[in-house]
Amino acid sequence: MPRYRLLVEYDGRPYHGFQAQADQPSVQGSIERAILAFCGETLRVHAAGRTDSGVHAIGQVIHIDLEKAWDAAVVRDALNAHLSPEPIAILDAAVAEPDFHARFSARERRYLYRILNRKSPPALERGRVWPVRNPIDAEAMHLAAQALVGQHDFTTFRDVNCQAKSPIKTLDEVLVWREGEEVRLAFTARSFLHRQVRSMTGSLAQVGLGRWSAADLAGALDARDRAACGPVAPADGLYLVSVAYEAKAAK
C-alpha cells in the first residue's frame, strides 16, 4: 500500500478549520471526498497541522495511503479535478517512505501573519489580512519579539482549550518586518500550542501600536497566565507557510 505525501494550499475562509467535522465544512473533509471520488477509497487524511477556522495555508503537508500504486502526478491532478471549484489545491505529490508521517515526522513548522497597516480597508485581500488603521512600529515589534525566542512556558499565549500535555515549547525564530503597507510576522518552531501564533501576534501588535513596551511583552510571557495575553489576532492574516522534514521523508 503506497504512501503519498501531498503539498496543499487553501483559503481557510469557507472552512471551520482543517479537521473534519460532522456538520461543518472542513479542508480535511473536502480532500477526503475528493479521494473517494477519484479512487473509491474512504480513508483518513493525516496533516502536519490542524489549522483553525479561517486560517490559510500555502504549505500544508498531508499524507495518504492508497491501495493502488498510482503515479504521483495522477494523484495530484485527479484530486485537483475533484476539488474544483473549492479553494483547495494540491500543489505537489510524491511517493513517501512507508514510515513518513505528515505530523510526527515534521522537524519544523513556519507560520506567517500578515497585517495590512493603512487607513483604508482591504478590498481584494479581505479575509486574508488583519486590517489595522493606526500606525505600527514593526521594528519595535521585532525587538520585543526576541524575548519569545527559546524554550519557555507559553501558558500566557496558550488557548484555554489547548489539549497539549505541556505549555513548554521552543520557539526557534520570530521575525517582524514591513513590506510597503504590510507588517509581516514569521514564527518558526517544531510545534506550536493551540492559537499560540495568533496570541503572540496580538500581543506584539500592542507593542507596535505603542500600547505596550518590550518589557510589558516579556512580563506577559513571564506571568504564565492567560489573562496577561493581549487581544488575540484574528484568523484572517495567518498562514501555514511550510513544514520541514528530513531529506529521506519523500522520494
Single out the residue of 54, 113, 132, 131 nearest to residue 238, CA to CA: 113
Class of the CATH domain delimited by 108-242? alpha beta
Cell numbers standing for residue 153: 512556558
Name the residues annotated as catalytic.
52
Single out the residue of 77, 72, 79, 78 nearest to residue 94, CA to CA: 72
Q: Who has greater pLDDT, 250 or 213? A: 213
In sign, the C-alpha dihedral spanning 21, 165, 6, 113 is: positive
Q: Residues 41, 46, 47, 50: what is their CA dihedral angle, to the nearest 10 degrees? A: 100
Q: Is the pLDDT of residue 167 over 80?
A: yes
Q: According to the model, what pLDDT value does residue 249 have?
A: 46
User: pLDDT tens-digit profile of 170-181?
Assistant: 999 999 999 999
Q: What is the pTM of this model?
A: 0.94
For residues 58-82, one letter each, b for 16 or more C-beta atoms within 10 angstroms of the residue's C-beta and e for the rest, the string is bbbbbbbebeeebebeebbebbbeb
What's the DSSP call for residue 165?
Answer: S
Residue 21 pairs with which residues in a beta bridge? 24
User: pLDDT tens-digit profile of 32-76?
Assistant: 999 999 999 999 999 999 999 999 999 999 999 999 999 999 999
Cα–Cα distance measured from residue 66 to residue 70, given in angstroms and rounded to the nearest whole number: 8
Q: Is the pLDDT of residue 251 over 80?
A: no
Counting Cα atoms < 13 Å in the Cβ hemisphere of 107 gives 7
Q: Are 5 and 63 in contact (CB under 8 A)?
A: yes
What's the topology of domain 3-105?
Answer: Alpha-Beta Plaits (3.30.70)
User: pLDDT tens-digit profile of 182-209?
Assistant: 999 999 999 999 999 999 999 999 999 9
Q: According to the model, what pLDDT value does residue 188 have?
A: 98
Percent of the chain with pLDDT over 90: 94
Cα–Cα distance measured from residue 224 to residue 209, given in angstroms and rounded to the nearest whole number: 23
Cα–Cα distance measured from residue 212 to residue 152, given in angstroms and rounded to the nearest whole number: 20
Q: According to the model, what pLDDT value does residue 79 have?
A: 98
Cα–Cα distance measured from residue 203 to residue 138, given in angstroms and rounded to the nearest whole number: 13
Q: According to the model, what pLDDT value does residue 250 have?
A: 46
Lookup result for grid cell 465544512:
25
Q: What is the mean pLDDT of residues 88-92?
A: 98
Single out the residue of 70, 48, 66 nearest to residue 58, CA to CA: 48
Single out the residue of 47, 60, 57, 42 nearest to residue 19, CA to CA: 47
Q: According to the model, what pLDDT value does residue 22 have?
A: 84
Q: What are the structural domain ranges in the chain?
A: 3-105, 108-242
User: pLDDT tens-digit profile of 237-247?
Assistant: 999 999 999 87
Q: Is the pLDDT of residue 248 over 70?
A: no
Q: What is the mean pLDDT of residues 122-134?
A: 97
Cα–Cα distance list, 144 to 92, 139, 190 (Å): 37, 9, 21
